[in-house]
Amino acid sequence: METSFPLIGDRLPTLKVTTTHGEMTLPDDMAGKWFVLFSHPADYTPVCTTEFVAFQKRYDEFRKLNCELVGLSIDQVFSHIKWMEWIKEKLGVEIEFPVIADDMGNVAKAMGMIHPGKGTNTVRAVFIVDDKGTVRIIFYYPQELGRNMDEILRAVKGMQTSDAHGVAIPAGWPENELIKKRVIIPPAKDVESAKKRLQEHEGFDWWFCHKEL
């Protein structure tokens, strides 16, 4: 079975899809916006339901970052629509983002979302795509483990911060154990700038300097 997928730094391949919001072409229809393309194993499953609720409850936070959400599973569009109705009726949460109906599995295969060792449904894949259509981050989770949406939100914030300021983002940012909410300055590229680094910036050594944004 084909399990290839675009790598970090690749442009997302053109995907013409049917969604709960109508026909879409990705990444073209998201031009100028970041988006999170995520797959879930199946509609009407408990873990996936908790994930959709969690994504929706953070949807405003994603949109503040100029970032959209797009779900996907190998289900037909009517199944998605009915499941969305169930979530709204039973749980009081209205899912506002589109969900791709990949009932033939073509998108899932192209994106490496089906892992034969884990069955025929899609695993919990996450592709974070920037406003130019480039894949910036990829996460994979098995069916039995629900995702942490706060980490996905943090990842989008971190990449946008890195792009805007030309810095690297430490572990757990903005609550890193060593430097809190500060960010890391890229290492010096020559001997002369390495000698000056600690004169110009705070840090533990010339190769580990950090600053406030």
CB 158 within 8 A of CB 173: yes
Q: Say which of 26, 48, 70, 95 is annotated catalytic.
A: 48
Rg (CA), the chain: 20
| 200 membership: H or E segment, kind and range | helix 191-200
| 110 membership: H or E segment, kind and range | helix 106-110
Strand order in the sheet with 99-101: 22-26, 15-19, 99-101, 67-73, 34-39, 124-129, 135-141
Instruction: With both helix axes pointing from N to C terminus, report the angle between 149-165 and 46-57 in degrees, rounded to the nearest 10.
Output: 40
209 assigned to active site: no
Number of neighbours of residue 41 by Cβ within 10 angstroms = 21
CB 85 within 8 A of CB 79: no
Distance CA 192, CA 135 (A): 35
Catalytic center residues? 48
